[in-house]
Homo-oligomer: A and B are copies of this chain.
């Protein structure tokens, strides 16, 4: 039995939900671990992001989002609408804004409450079986790192922890 940890950086450029396909990174982390059977946990420590598994849709929207992911973003928009004005959500409150200002952050960077809510709804990680040295994703399954924080460009870290033998 052994454990192997790896990370990869992704860069969120667009000012809207962005989905990074990290399937190749999951496969690479499992291969690097030398583990034939066990599990791989794919995780985001960012509280406005999620890790999810979805089928590759093949077709994309005009600005490059896979159709299944855009269909998902559309229902998330109904559950936790994009924050468009102060007071739409309770958060951010005055203590949070004062803290942000004292640490060199712009106040409007905190108008990302929708992203915090979507992140919890879809969950922070997925744990995938490893068989024959590969993550078990089926024929068309892909692992996506979802960045729901549309208020600014961000560098993000994705964690892979492989456990097994």
* Interface set of A (CB-CB < 8 Å, partner B): 1-3, 5, 37-39, 41, 43, 45-48, 52-55, 57-61, 67-68, 70-72, 74-75, 78-80, 89-96, 99, 113, 116-117, 119-129, 131, 136-138, 140-141, 159, 161, 163-165
Indicate if the CB atoms of B1 and A3 lie closer than 8 Å: yes
Q: A116-B54, A117-B71 are in contact. Are A45 and B138 (CB under 8 A)?
A: yes
Residue from the list B53, B78, B113 in contact with A68, Cβ < 8 A: B113
Indicate if the CB atoms of A141 and B90 lie closer than 8 Å: no
A123 to chain B, nearest CB (A): 6
How many copies of this chain does one complex carry? 3
Residue from the list B91, B94, B164 in contact with A163, Cβ < 8 A: B164
Indicate if the CB atoms of A71 and B89 lie closer than 8 Å: yes
> Which B residues are in CB contact (< 8 Å) with A140?
47
Residue from the list B45, B57, B67, B94 in contact with A136, Cβ < 8 A: B45
Residue from the list B78, B96, B129 in contact with A59, Cβ < 8 A: B96
